[in-house]
Amino acid sequence: MKRRTGQDRNVTKNWKPATLAVRGGTARSEFGETSEALFLTSGYAYDCAGDAAARFAGEQSGMTYSRLQNPTVEMLEQRIALLEGAEACRATASGMAAMTAALLCQLQSGDHLVGGRAAFGSCRWLTDTLLPKFGIETTVVDARDPQQFVDAIRPNTKVFFFETPANPTMDVVDLKAVCGIARDRGITTVVDNAFATPALQRPMEFGADVVAYSATKMMDGQGRVLAGAVCGTEDFINNILLPFHRNTGPTLSAFNAWVVLKGLETLDLRIRRQSENAVKVATFLEGRVPRVNFPGLPSHPQHDLAMTQMEAAGPIFSIELDGGRAQAHGLLDALGLIDISNNIGDSRSLMTHPASTTHSGVAAEQREIMGVREGMLRLNVGLEDPEDLIADLDQALKAVSL
Ligand SMILES: Cc1ncc(COP(=O)(O)O)c(C=O)c1O
C-alpha cells in the first residue's frame, strides 16, 4: 500500500470538508487506482513466520485478519474521522453495533447512564433492557432540558447518551450545555449523530467526547448497505473501544465500507439539497396537518437552538395527525410516489408509522411519554422534485379527509 504524496495527517487536516469527503483517507495501491480499491480478503499472508509473530506482537505494522484490520475499512475510518474532526474512528457493521460497542466498551456493572428518552427504538432497548440486564443502571430524561441531566446525575454516573435531532420526535439537545455539564463532572458523552452527519453538525465542536453513527442512513445515502462508526480520541478508540470491538467482532465488511466511501463523496451535496426539499415539504404540510415536528421550520420551538449547532436541519421530520393509527396508516396506503419504508437517509422519499414499526418494540406507555403517538408519521425527504412530493402528499391527505 502506498499513501499518495500529501496524504499524511498534517496535510489532510488543512483540507476543507468538501475535499476531505472525496480525498480524505485515500490509500492507493501500487496500481495507482483513482477510485478506492475494494480489498475483499479475510486474511493476509506473511513472508515468514517471524513476520506473523512480529505483527501479532505489535512490533511490525501491517494487517493480520479482517476482523481486526482491512485496508478499505481503514480508508473509511480515516475519512469519517477527518470529516468529524475526531482523532480516530472505528467502523462497525451497523449503527446499532456502533451504539452497543460505544456503550458496553466503557460501562460495567455498578455504573449509571443517563439517556435521552426520545430515541430510536433499538437505542431505547439498549438503555431500558440490555444495560440493566448487565447491572448497569439507567435513567431516561427529557433531553431538551439540560437541567434534567443535572438532576439525574448520581455518584456512579459514567455516560450521557442521546441523539440530536432525535428519532422520530425531532427533539433537539443543547449540545454545548449538556456536554458542558458532563465535562465538568468527568462524565463521557456519547452522541448519536445519525440524522445530521458531520456535514451538518459536529458534536465534538460543542464538547462531545464520542460521536456514533448509523452510516446506513445519510452516509451511504442510497439505501444500499448497513454500516456504523464510532469517533473519539485516539485513547478512547485504541484503548477502550478497540479491545471490545476486535474481540466481539461487530466488524464492517470491506464491501460495505467501500459503498459508504463512495456515499461520503456526495454526502454534502445530498444532505443540503434534501434539507432544502424537506423545508419545502414541511412548509406545505404545516398548513394541512395538526402538527409538524421539524426544527428546520421557524415555528419549531427549538428552531433557534438547532440553527446554532446545525448548518441545515436535515431531511427527516415527523408529523402528527389527530385520527390515530387508522388515519396515519390510511395516509401511508394512499401514497403513490413516496414509499412506505422504515429506512431513512435514502435519496428516495420514505414514510413510516413509528408506533407500529421503528418504535413498536418500545412499551406503549413509554412511547406516549417520549411523544411517539399513534397519529405520528415520520418522513425522509429525498432528492425527488419537491413539487412531485407535495402533489403526492396532497392527494394522500385528501384521501384521509385532510
Ligand atoms: C438515530 C438512529 N440511531 C441508530 C440507528 C441504528 O442504525 P442501523 O440500522 O444502521 O443499525 C438508527 C436506525 O434507524 C437511527 O435512526
Phi, psi of 232 (to 5 degrees): -175, -165
For residue 4, is it within any domain?
no
Report how many domains make up the chain. Answer: 2
What integer pLDDT is reported at residue 11 of this predicted model?
57
For residue 3, is it within any domain?
no
What integer pLDDT is reported at residue 5 of this predicted model?
40
Distance 216 CA to ligand 1 centre (A): 7
Distance 97 CA to ligand 1 centre (A): 9
Per the structure, the complete domain to which residue 339 belongs is given by: 267-399
Q: What is the DSSP letter of 66?
A: T
For residue 104, is it within any domain?
yes
Distance 272 CA to ligand 1 centre (A): 20
Q: Are residues 325 and 339 in the same domain?
A: yes
For residue 98, is it within any domain?
yes
Q: Give ∠ CA 119-122-123 in degrees, rounded to 5.
A: 45
pTM above threshold 0.85 = yes
- Could you tell me what percentage of the chain is helix, strand and coil, using 3-state DSSP and rounding each to the nearest 5? 40, 15, 45
Do residues 223 and 270 lie in contact, with contact meaning Cβ atoms separated by under 8 Å? no
CA distances from 379 to 52, 126, 140, 316, 393 (A): 51, 24, 25, 6, 11
Of ligand 1's atoms, which has the minimum distance to the CA of residue 97? 11
Q: Give dist(CA 122, CA 102) in Å, integer.
A: 14
Q: What is the CATH number of the domain that holds 339?
A: 3.90.1150.10
- pLDDT, tens digit only, all 402 positions of the chain: 444 444 454 556 689 999 999 999 999 999 999 999 999 999 999 999 999 999 999 999 999 999 999 999 999 999 999 999 999 999 999 999 999 999 999 999 999 999 999 999 999 999 999 999 999 999 999 999 999 999 999 999 999 999 999 999 999 999 999 999 999 999 999 999 999 999 999 999 999 999 999 999 999 999 999 999 999 999 999 999 999 999 999 999 999 999 999 999 999 999 999 999 999 999 999 989 999 999 999 999 999 999 999 999 999 999 999 999 999 999 999 999 999 999 999 999 999 999 999 999 999 999 999 999 999 999 999 999 999 999 999 999 999 999
Cβ neighbours for 381, distance < 8 A, ≥ 6 positions apart = 274, 277, 278, 281, 315, 316, 317, 349, 389
End-of-domain residue from the set 206, 232, 264: 264
Phi, psi of 328 (to 5 degrees): -65, -45
Q: Are residues 42 and 142 in the same domain?
A: yes
Nearest Cα residue to atom 6 of ligand 1? 95
> Per the structure block, which three cell numbers stand in for 79?
475519512
Q: Are residues 149 and 223 in the same domain?
A: yes
**Which residue is listed with cell 456493572?**
109
Of ligand 1's atoms, which has the minimum distance to the CA of residue 166? 1
Q: Are residues 359 and 234 in the same domain?
A: no
Q: Are residues 19 and 167 in the same domain?
A: yes
Distance 122 CA to ligand 1 centre (A): 8
For residue 149, is it within any domain?
yes
Of ligand 1's atoms, which has the minimum distance to the CA of residue 344? 14
Do residues 190 and 86 lie in contact, with contact meaning Cβ atoms separated by under 8 Å? no
Distance 14 CA to ligand 1 centre (A): 31
Q: What is the CATH number of the domain that holds 94?
A: 3.40.640.10
Q: What is the best residue among 162, 167, 344 to mutate for testing ligand 1's pocket, by most ligand atoms within 8 Å of CB?
A: 167
Distance 347 CA to ligand 1 centre (A): 16
What integer pLDDT is reported at residue 14 of this predicted model?
83
Q: Are residues 190 and 282 in the same domain?
A: no
For residue 182, is it within any domain?
yes
End-of-domain residue from the set 232, 248, 264: 264
End-of-domain residue from the set 207, 241, 264: 264
Q: Are residues 186 and 317 in the same domain?
A: no
Residues in the ligand 1 pocket, defined by CB under 6 Å: 94-96, 99, 120, 122-123, 163, 167, 192, 194, 214, 216, 226, 228, 344
Q: Give dist(CA 333, CA 331) in Å, integer.
A: 5
Cis ω for the linkage preceding 290 (within 30 of 0):
no
What integer pLDDT is reported at residue 48 of this predicted model?
98
Do residues 247 and 359 lie in contact, with contact meaning Cβ atoms separated by under 8 Å? no
**3-class DSSP assignment, residue 51:** helix
Angle, helices 386-399 vs 267-286, to 10°: value is 40
299, burial (CB in 10 Å: exposed 0-12, middle 13-18, buried 19+): exposed
For residue 2, is it within any domain?
no
Q: Are residues 235 and 356 in the same domain?
A: no
Q: Are residues 306 and 245 in the same domain?
A: no
Q: Are residues 282 and 387 in the same domain?
A: yes
Q: Are residues 175 and 310 in the same domain?
A: no
Angle, helices 71-84 vs 254-265, to 10°: value is 40
What integer pLDDT is reported at residue 13 of this predicted model?
66
What integer pLDDT is reported at residue 259 of this predicted model?
98
Q: Are residues 25 and 60 in the same domain?
A: yes
Q: What is the best residue among 214, 253, 359 to mutate for testing ligand 1's pocket, by most ligand atoms within 8 Å of CB?
A: 214
For residue 281, is it within any domain?
yes
What integer pLDDT is reported at residue 9 of this predicted model?
47
Among 176, 179, 173, smallest CA distance to 144 is for 173
